[in-house]
Amino acid sequence: MSYATGKYALGLCDRCGFRFLLSNLHKEWTGFKVCGECYEAKHPQLEVHSAGADPVALFEPRPDTDKEVGEGYILTNNDNIISSAIPGYQMTGNVGEVTITTT
């Protein structure tokens, strides 16, 4: 379907109501036909932003299997070292105290 050019056709700005040539009115993102002074571009924050995908897990990860580091010793806040790797000893602890019993 074809339309007439309408080079002398007039139209009203949907925002301010003044009369302009229809060819000088711009269609806004809201659907309004407005003059050049009333035209507002769509703000980027109104665009839908798709969040990126979550990170993918590592392929065949190699966890730390070094058994020597960190096993057998407990460091307290007064820098005493208590060995828990001695056979025959059992350790239980609470906040602020450590109880060692021999079996």
Which pLDDT does position 58 carry in this prediction?
Answer: 82
Show the tokens assigned to 50: 């798709």
Which pLDDT does position 85 carry in this prediction?
Answer: 53
Taking only the tens of pLDDT, the chain with its 103 residues reads 788 888 899 999 999 999 999 999 999 999 999 999 999 999 988 888 888 888 888 888 877 666 655 555 555 555 445 555 556 666 666 667 777 888 7
Which pLDDT does position 22 carry in this prediction?
Answer: 92
Beta bridge partners of 18: none
The amino acid at 68? E
Secondary structure class of 44 (helix, strand, coil): helix
Q: How far apart are CA 99 and CA 103, in angstroms?
A: 13
Q: How far apart are CA 55 and CA 66, in angstroms?
A: 27
Which pLDDT does position 62 carry in this prediction?
Answer: 78
Which pLDDT does position 78 carry in this prediction?
Answer: 55
Please give the model's pTM, rounded to 2 decimal places. Answer: 0.45
